[in-house]
Amino acid sequence: MAVKNYQELIVWQKGMDLVEAVYKASQAFPKEETYGLTSQIRRAVVSVPSNIAEGQGRKSTKEFLHFLSIALGSLREVETQILIAERLTYLNKKQTAPLLTLSSEVGRLINGLYNSLTRK
């Protein structure tokens, strides 16, 4: 069965879960980070499901693969920023562990979709 809408993709749904989790976690960041790390991590995490959706909406598999690659890059950016927040003690290990677990799951799903599209 072909996917008719990006919202049907588990990878997009999990990406949206990650957006929600990162937004909630970053609410506790210091006020002085509003235009720094808070803004940067939120832009990066929003980019993950956004690029999956945009890629799925494109006309060719080659374009979809390109956008999945961008989504994966944004995901790595988010993971790095989560680790930075932990190092700066804006988040503790108890907060970062579930974020990194969900991020890892999204990464595996992106890679799986990418690999399945390259086999077609």
In a domain, 80, yes or no: yes
CATH code of the domain in which 36 resides? 1.20.1440.60
Residue 3 binned pLDDT confidence (cut-offs 50, 70, 90)? low
Say if 5 falls within a structural domain: no
What is the per-residue pLDDT across 37-77, written as a single tens digit (0 to 9) for each?
999 999 999 999 999 999 999 989 999 999 999 999 999 99
**Tell me, what's the pLDDT at 4?**
76
Q: What is the pLDDT of residue 2?
A: 61
Rounded to whole angstroms, the maximal C-alpha distance in the chain is: 49
Domain with 41, as residue range(s), is 16-119
Examine residue 77 and state whether it is found in any structural domain, yes or no: yes
Cβ contact 77:44 at 8 Å: yes
Residue 101 inside a domain? The answer is yes
Domain tally, the chain: 1
Does 73 fall in a domain? yes
Q: Which two tokens stand for residue 18?
A: 């990650």
Whether 2 maps to a domain, the answer reads no
Per-position DSSP letters for 71-104, written without gaps between them:
HHHHHHHHHHHHHHHHHTTSS-HHHHHHHHHHHH
